[in-house]
Every structure is written in C-alpha cells, then in structure tokens.
C-alpha cells in the first residue's frame, strides 16, 4: 500500500500548459491553429469584401464562353470560336509538348557534357566547365530571349529558299530551318495505318517480353542469347511486313514553298524552337553537374572490384557503375525535369502560348477573372509537380539500398 | 691481397638523375598524356581547338577590334566600324544601373549599396567587430529610407514599435508576479507585446511621424517605386529576398521536422505548394491578387509585394536545403544535445544548426544564386529590371536593331554576381571544413 512510486496527484495548474512537456505541445499547436485560422478568416473576409466592392464574384463559367482569340501553335483542333476551356487545354498541351521535348534534349546534352567534363582530355574538360559555369550563372529568361533572338536574326529567311541559288532543306529537302521556325515533314495516316501502329505496339511488347525471358533463361541456365539482334528483328520485321502488305498506308507530307511561306508538314514556330533550345541548354548544364556528381559518387573500388572479377569495361559500366550511379542521379534529375517544366512558363515572354500564356495571359485579360484564372493555373502546375514527385518517390523507394 | 689491388672505378659523387625523355616530360609530355593520348582523344582535341578558334575569331574582332564606344545612334556606330556598337551601353549605362531614378538623388542608392557591405561584413567574416550586428539589424530600414525617401521619423517609428513589443514581454511579467500564474503571465505578456506593436504600427507611427516632423523635420525627397529600375531593382529584390529567405527557411525546415503534427502539416503544405508552382504564378498573385486579401483600400507598393512573394518562394527551397543538412547530421548529435539537458531551442541553436547550416552551405548559396537570377522574371509583371529596360532601348529610334550588345551586357552583369557568389561558397566550404564528415 506504499505510494512512494506514485507521484502526488497535484491539482492542475494553468502554468503546466506552458511548462509541462505533456501539455506544452498541445498549447503550442492550438495557439498556432488559432492564429492560422484567424489569418485565413481575415484574408478571406477581406477578399469577399473587396470582390463585393468591385461587384465581382467567383465564377468559373467563363470556361465555357467563346475565347475569341487565336493560338498560333496548337496540337488540338482550335480556333477563335472555341471556348476558354479549350484554349486552356491547348495551352496545357503546349506546355507538356515543350516540357517533354526539353527534357529529352536536356538529358542528352547533360549526360554528354557531364561525362565529357570528367574526360582526361584537358581542353575538352575545360570547355565543358566553361559551358556549365556560363550557363548556370546567367538567368534562364535571358537565355530564352537570346535564343529566340538567334533564331530570328541568324537563321535564313524563308525568302532565301526561293529563286536563284536558293538554299535547300536538310535531309533531301524535307526539313527547313528558317528564322520563322522549323518546317518538318508530317506523317499522314491513311486507311489501314491503325493496323500498322497496332503491329508496332505488339512488337514493342514482344521485344520487351523476349528480353525478360532471355534474362530469366540466362539466370536459370547460364546460356546467353543474342538479345539485341533478336529484339531488333522483332521490332522491325513485322512492322515492315505489315506496312508494305497494307500498301504503305503511312506517308510523309513534306513542307513545300508556296507563295510567301511553306505549306504542309509540321510548323514549329520560332518561339517554340527558341524556348525549347534555351531550356535544353540551360537545364542541360544542371544535369551535367548531376551526372558528374553521380559518377564521382561511385568509389573507385567498385570499378576495380569489377575488373578483378574479370568484367570488361563496358560490362563494368553497365552492370556495376551505372546501376549505382543512377540511384544518385535520378532524384535530382527528376527535380531538374520539374524545374524545366516550371521554367517553361517563361514562354509568356516570347509569345509561345503555353498554359501561362493562355490561361494566365489572354484569357485572364479578356475575362478579368484574375482569381479564377490564377487558381486554375496554379492547380495545373501543382498537380503536374505532385504527380511527378509522387512517381519519383515510388522510384526512390524501389531502388533504395536495403540496409540493415 | 685483393684489398691492396687498386679498385678499377669508384664513383666519387652521386650522378644527378638525368631529365626524363623529352616525349614524356614537360609541356610536350603533358600534351601527349592529356591531349593526344589516342585517336579519339586527338580528334576531340583538334575539334575543340577548332571550335575555340572559331568562336574567338568571331567574338574578338567584333567585341574588341571593331567595336565602337562613342556614337549617338546605331547608324553612327555603323559609319565608324562594323563591330559591336557598345556606344549604346556607354550612353545608357546609368539607366541600366538606376532605371529612372532621379539623377540628382542617385547618391542615395549608392550610399545604401556601400552601407550594404558594412552591414553584411559581420555576417561574411567572423573577424568583424560584433557590435556591427546592431547596424546590420537596423540596415533594412535605413536602406528603405535612403532609397524611397520620405520622413526620417517613419522608419524610426517602426523601430519604436519593435521596442514597445520587446518592452511588454520584458517588463510586464515582473509587474504581476505573485498575483498571476507565471506561465499565464508570460503568455499574456507575449500577446500584449504583439498587440501593442501591431497597434503602434497601424495607428501610432503616423501620429509619431507627424508630431516629430512638426518639431524637427528630417526627410529626404520621396521617390516613387515606378522610377526604380535596372540593376538597382534586381539588387533590391535579390538582397531582400536573400536576407529574408534564410531565417524563414530555417524556421520552415525546423517546422517540417517537428513532432508537432499541426506545425509539420502547415510547413509541409507551404513548402510543397510553393515548390509546385512556377515563380511567375506567384508574381501574378503579387501583382493581381494580393491586394484582394488585404483590407479594402490598402495601398501596397508593388515592389514590396514582389519582394514578399520572392522571399516566400526562396524560403521554401531554402527550407528543403536546410532540411537536407538537418537530416545529414548523425542522430548522436541530437541525442548528445538532449543528454546535456539542453532544451529544444538551445540544442538547435548551439549544437544542431551550426553543423547543419555548415553542411548545407553549397545548397544555400545555390538557392541565393537561383533567387538572384529569378529577379529577372519581374519584367513579366511590368517592372523595369535590366531585361525590362531592353524594350524601351530597342524601341528608341537611335538604337533600333541592337540585340547582342545588350543581352551580352546584362548577361555579363548576372554572371559576375552569380559566379562571385559560387566562388565565395567554395571558399566558405573549405574554410569551415574542419575535417569531419
């Protein structure tokens, strides 16, 4: 019946809320919650009163109204009688277009520059250092304006492809690089092309499956199959057979000079080209540093151990160094892709109609609905970022070192 | 015996080592090793040399040999020579630096800029006198007063407000000691202090300013925000963003690692939201939306709104950088701090943050550089930073058609600042690296 082990049940004092660690965290959180909610209430109350004073309301109905403006570069069917919602969608697809193009070229540039910066060739390594330092220390907006200026001022005009001693296009006169942008051939799908595309998809699936099967077989029996050659055959042969059997249903429409401009094919405007190249070169410099850091992060002992096992340099790279380096490289690489996507919103400075240019630009100006437009715009970018970072986190979990 | 026989040959001195063969030593050997060690390497070297020669052959005559420094228009330049028309930079240099700041008042931003170095001196170098930190704390208000002008008593009033709040927290609890529970008294004092400061700022400052101005009017001629531009504007936004984002970023990073669920949720939400949207949309918010969320009729300077948004933007990135530093510290450091009996703030201030911040220096400086580069985005909402000044210059009849000189000049300015910052961070890294890790 001893009570020595029990503390005295002291009466609760108010000061315990602040000095007793059991209660203090609740005090702080409740206080913070109250402050945050008050701040929000205050801001929302202000917004309601301000909107009232201006005779405005929150109304997303403008999405279904006619936009009455043109978008010069669009992948979807669009004209000035389409709705604001459609314009926003065209803008979003333009953002995704330039982001994907930029990510691919930036990765190519970055990997190349990152590896070359580690080159034993002094002058090549120095050149890459100069490239990386110059690009990283100058704002991306200046690069974008500068690249568009290069496209506009340095590349030949459409006129120089006409008349006496005219320039000819690249690739057998099918790709034209002008100061108004690039003109490239467009694929034309005729009847039966769906079958060819289906065969292509099936071949890709088959090649992927074959690779998996071959690896499993090698693991089980130790016999190595000529994976690359078989895969190439699986990819190419059925598609070619289907293509010619169905009478070449897919053809290329080559742009041709008619009057004052090129007609036909796909037209990539100067603003798209400038933005794409600038974002690629800018982000490429950051990716180069990431690649370099990733390769340097793998200790030399790994390479030496692989050599000691008798692996050839190519296999050492692909089986030992790269899988480990990728674990270091991929997370910051994805975050650079996200940065590129967000930087593509600078398109508004050069007149490329991306999501910011349509939803946050002309639609906002025409309808005067700042609140709604900016909310939608933020929601789009936020959704894109969160989706990609969720995917990245899943990848990180899957490649994380399984320790202890 | 054999000993008496004369020895045929004994070396009397050591033969000095002979130099390595010419092919492996010196410059030639170095070139063989580093530039021409194989077919591929040789080709790469030659291609690189050709590329460098091509660029130099293009740039050097244009920029140095054939450039024109004195002319009044592009035509004037072309009449003299066909190189770079640097006369435009010669003529517009002051506009690039100050924007449309009144000419006779330009000593004020210059003075503010010089004082900036005095203010950041104690932060950059530990050898500086510690007393200077008081000046650093007061510098923002001083710089604001110098650049925007107005009555001297306005900034003084703001300082008085802070002093009032501090006095409440310091002197109220002893007054009620014994009559009121201690914790409650402290809470009440903090509340009273915040309330008093807010009330003073809202209502007292104007009266204070008016009263003192009628006695001793000290003031500078006010300058409107619209006249600020050029590198001055970039520097104002960049420096305030840098100064603001580091402390806010530290608080956010600590909040994100906090055990208090609500605090953590708020910090995570803020950080992820800001990092998920482009800076442009936040500038749009500063430009179009921020005034909606303030009491009706509040007039709020656009540059100040931009500074707030840029600071918020940079602090989210800063928080992630510092969180990385906090996570990189071994758990033993946290446990050691706890076992010494330090409370949360003391352990953070004395043990954790000094180490975590040191680890994150490269990331912190990278965030600063990114922030400084991002100040160019303000042209999209119509502020005239250096990039924004391009348009009026190119619209001028005299300079119509000038492209590369202007871009090159602005790029050079940003390059110098950002490159200097990155070098400073390397110096700091080496200096602070005491061999751990």
Per-domain boundaries in chain B = 66-101+226-437, 152-220
Query: How many Å is the Cα radius of gyration of chain B?
Result: 31
pLDDT of residue A189 exceeding 90, the answer is no
Pairing of strands A181-184, B150-151: unpaired
Say whether B260 and A29 touch across the interface (CB within 8 A): yes
In this prediction, residue A130 carries a pLDDT of 93
What SS3 class is residue A69?
coil
Q: What is the DSSP letter of A8?
A: P
* Record: contact B414-A17, CB cut-off 8 A: no
- Cβ–Cβ under 8 Å, residues A74 and A98: no
Q: Is the pLDDT of residue A22 over 70?
A: yes
pLDDT digits (tens, 9 = 90+) for A300-327: 899 899 999 999 877 888 888 888 888 8
Alpha-carbon distance A100 to nearest alpha carbon in chain B (angstroms): 17
For residues A259 and B254, the model is more confident at: B254
Least Cα distance to A280 among A36, A127, A101, A131 occurs for A101
For B375-393, give one letter per residue: b (16+ CB within 10 A) or e. Answer: bbbbbbbebbbbbbbbeeb
Do residues B372 and B418 make contact, with C-beta atoms less than 8 angstroms apart?
yes
Q: In chain A, which residue's Cα lies nearest the Cα of B287?
A: A370
Q: Does A21 touch chain B (CB under 8 A)?
A: no
C-alpha A230 chain-centroid distance? 32
d(CA B93, CA A362): 34
Q: Report yes or no: B122 and B129 within 8 Å, Cβ to Cβ.
A: yes
Measured between CA atoms, the residue of chain B closest to residue A21 is B343
As a 3-state breakdown, chain B gives helix, strand, coil percent values, each rounded to 5, of: 75, 0, 25
Are the C-beta atoms of residues A224 and A218 closer than 8 Å to each other? yes
CB B311, CB B244: distance < 8 Å: yes
Is A137 within 8 Å of B419 when comparing Cβ atoms?
yes
Neighbours of A297 (CB within 10 A): 12
The burial of A395, by beta-carbon neighbours within 10 Å (0-12 exposed, 13-18 middle, 19 or more buried), is given as: middle
Interface ipTM: 0.84
The confidence score (pLDDT) of residue B4 equals 66
Task: Determine, for residues A50 and B296 on separate chains, whether the beta-carbon distance falls below 8 Å.
Answer: yes
Instruction: Calculate the CA dihedral of residues A330, A332, A336, A342 and round it to 10 degrees.
Output: 110
305-344 of A, contacting B, C-beta below 8 A: 342-343
Q: Which helix (H) or strand (E) holds B248?
A: helix B230-256
| Confidence check: pLDDT of A347 > 70 | yes
The answer, yes or no, to whether residue A2 has pLDDT greater than 50, is no
pLDDT of residue A6: 56
pLDDT value at residue A402: 63
Residues of B in contact with A364 (CB under 8 A): 288
Mean pLDDT to the nearest integer, A136-148? 92
Is A175 or A376 the better-scoring residue by pLDDT? A376
> Residues 104..123 of A with a Cβ closer than 8 Å to B: which?
119-123
Architecture of domain B66-101+226-437: Orthogonal Bundle (1.10)
Nearest CB to B34: which of A122, A343, A360? A122
Q: Which of B183, B293, B414 sits opposite A47 (nearest CB)?
A: B293
Q: What is the mean pLDDT of residues A65-73?
A: 78
* Backbone torsions φ then ψ of B218, nearest 5 degrees: -110, 125
Q: CA A319 from chain center: how many Å? A: 28
Q: What are the residue ranges in chain B where pLDDT is below 50?
A: 1, 436-437
Q: What angle do CA A254, A257, A263 make, to 5 degrees?
A: 60
Gap between the terminal Cα atoms of chain B:
68
A355, A92 contact by CB (below 8 A): yes
Comparison of pLDDT for A35 and A16, the residue scoring more: A35
Is residue A404 pLDDT above 80, yes or no?
Answer: no
**The pLDDT of residue A1:** 45
Predicted TM-score of the model (pTM): 0.85
Is the separation of the CB atoms in B408 and A143 below 8 Å?
Answer: no
Q: What was the pLDDT predicted at A283?
A: 95
Question: For A210-249, how does the pLDDT look when each residue is reduced to its tens digit (9 = 90+)?
Answer: 888 888 888 888 888 788 888 888 888 888 888 888 777 7
Q: Which residue has the higher pLDDT, B111 or A3?
A: B111
Contact A380, A92 (CB under 8 A): yes
């Amino acid at each position: 019946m001893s009570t020595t082990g029990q503390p005295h049940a002291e009466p609760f004092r108010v000061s315990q809320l602040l000095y007793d660690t059991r209660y203090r965290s609740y005090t702080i959180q409740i206080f913070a919650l109250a402050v945050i909610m008050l701040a929000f209430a205050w801001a929302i109350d202000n917004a309601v009163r301000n909107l009232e004073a201006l005779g405005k309301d929150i109304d997303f109905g403008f999405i279904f109204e006619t936009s009455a403006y043109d978008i010069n570069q669009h992948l979807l069917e669009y004209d000035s009688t389409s709705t604001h919602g459609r314009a926003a969608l065209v803008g979003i697809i333009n953002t995704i277009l330039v982001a994907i193009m930029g990510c691919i070229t930036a990765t190519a540039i970055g990997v190349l520059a990152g590896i070359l910066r580690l080159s034993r060739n002094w002058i090549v390594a120095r050149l890459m250092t100069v490239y990386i330092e110059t690009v990283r220390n100058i704002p991306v907006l200046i690069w974008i304006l500068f690249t568009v200026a290069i496209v506009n001022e340095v590349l030949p005009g459409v006129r120089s492809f006409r008349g006496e001693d005219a320039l000819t296009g690249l690739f057998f006169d099918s790709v034209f690089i002008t100061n108004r942008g690039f003109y490239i051939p467009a694929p034309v799908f005729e009847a039966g092309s769906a079958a060819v595309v289906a065969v292509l998809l099936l071949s890709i699936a088959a090649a992927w499956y074959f690779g998996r099967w071959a690896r499993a077989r090698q693991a089980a029996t130790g016999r190595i199959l000529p994976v690359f050659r078989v895969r190439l055959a699986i990819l190419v042969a059925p598609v070619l057979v289907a293509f010619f059997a169905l009478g070449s249903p897919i053809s290329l429409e080559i742009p041709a000079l008619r009057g004052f401009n090129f007609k036909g094919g796909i037209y990539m405007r100067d603003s798209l080209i400038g933005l794409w190249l600038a974002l690629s070169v800018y982000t490429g410099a950051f990716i180069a540093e990431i690649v370099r850091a990733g390769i340097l992060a793998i200790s030399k002992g790994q390479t030496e151990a692989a050599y000691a096992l008798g692996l050839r340099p190519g296999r050492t790279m692909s089986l030992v160094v790269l899988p480990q380096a990728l674990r270091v490289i991929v997370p910051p690489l994805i975050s650079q892709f996200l940065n590129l996507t967000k930087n593509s919103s600078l398109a508004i400075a050069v007149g490329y109609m991306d999501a910011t240019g349509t939803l946050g630009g002309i639609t906002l100006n025409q309808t005067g609905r700042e609140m709604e437009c900016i909310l939608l715009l933020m929601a789009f970018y936020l959704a894109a970022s969160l989706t990609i970072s969720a995917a990245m986190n899943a990848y990180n979990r899957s490649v994380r070192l399984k320790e202890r | 015996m054999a000993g008496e026989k004369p020895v045929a040959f004994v070396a009397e001195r050591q033969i000095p080592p002979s130099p390595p063969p010419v092919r492996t030593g010196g410059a030639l050997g170095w070139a063989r090793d580093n530039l021409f060690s194989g077919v591929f390497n040789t080709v790469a070297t030659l291609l690189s040399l050709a590329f460098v020669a091509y660029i130099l052959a293009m740039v050097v005559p244009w920029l140095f040999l054939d450039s024109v420094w004195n002319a009044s228009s592009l035509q004037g330049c072309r009449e003299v020579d066909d190189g770079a028309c640097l006369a435009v930079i010669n003529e517009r240099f002051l506009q690039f630096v100050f924007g449309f700041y009144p000419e006779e008042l330009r000593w004020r931003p210059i003075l503010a800029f010089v004082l900036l170095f005095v203010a950041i001196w104690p932060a950059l170098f530990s050898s500086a006198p510690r007393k200077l930190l008081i000046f650093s704390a007061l510098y923002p208000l001083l710089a604001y007063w110098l650049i925007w002008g107005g009555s001297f008593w306005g900034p003084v009033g703001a300082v008085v407000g802070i002093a009032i709040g501090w006095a409440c927290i310091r002197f109220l609890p002893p007054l009620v000691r014994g009559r009121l529970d201690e914790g409650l008294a402290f809470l009440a004092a903090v509340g009273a202090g915040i309330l008093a400061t807010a009330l003073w700022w809202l209502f007292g400052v104007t009266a204070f300013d008016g009263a003192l101005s009628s006695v001793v009017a000290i003031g500078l001629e006010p300058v409107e925000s619209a006249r600020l531009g050029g590198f001055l504007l970039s520097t104002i936004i960049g420096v305030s963003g840098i100064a603001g984002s580091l402390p806010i970023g530290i608080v956010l990073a600590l909040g994100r690692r906090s055990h208090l669920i609500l605090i953590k949720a708020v910090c995570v939400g803020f950080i992820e939201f800001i990092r998920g949207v482009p800076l442009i949309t936040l500038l749009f918010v500063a430009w179009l939306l921020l005034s909606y969320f303030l009491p009706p009729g509040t007039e709020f300077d656009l540059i100040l709104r931009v500074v707030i948004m840029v600071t918020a933007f940079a602090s989210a990135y800063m928080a992630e950088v510092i969180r990385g530093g906090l996570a990189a510290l071994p758990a033993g450091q946290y446990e050691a701090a706890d076992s010494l009996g330090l409370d949360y703030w003391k352990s953070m201030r004395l043990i954790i943050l000094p180490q975590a911040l040191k680890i994150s220096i490269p990331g912190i400086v990278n965030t600063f550089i990114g922030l400084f580069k991002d100040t160019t985005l303000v042209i999209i909402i119509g502020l005239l930073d250096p990039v924004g000044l391009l348009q009026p210059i190119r619209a001028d009849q005299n300079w119509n058609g000038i492209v590369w000189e202007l871009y090159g000049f602005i790029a050079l300015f940003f390059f110098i600042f950002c490159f200097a910052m990155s070098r400073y961070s390397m110096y700091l890294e080496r200096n602070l690296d005491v061999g751990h890790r």
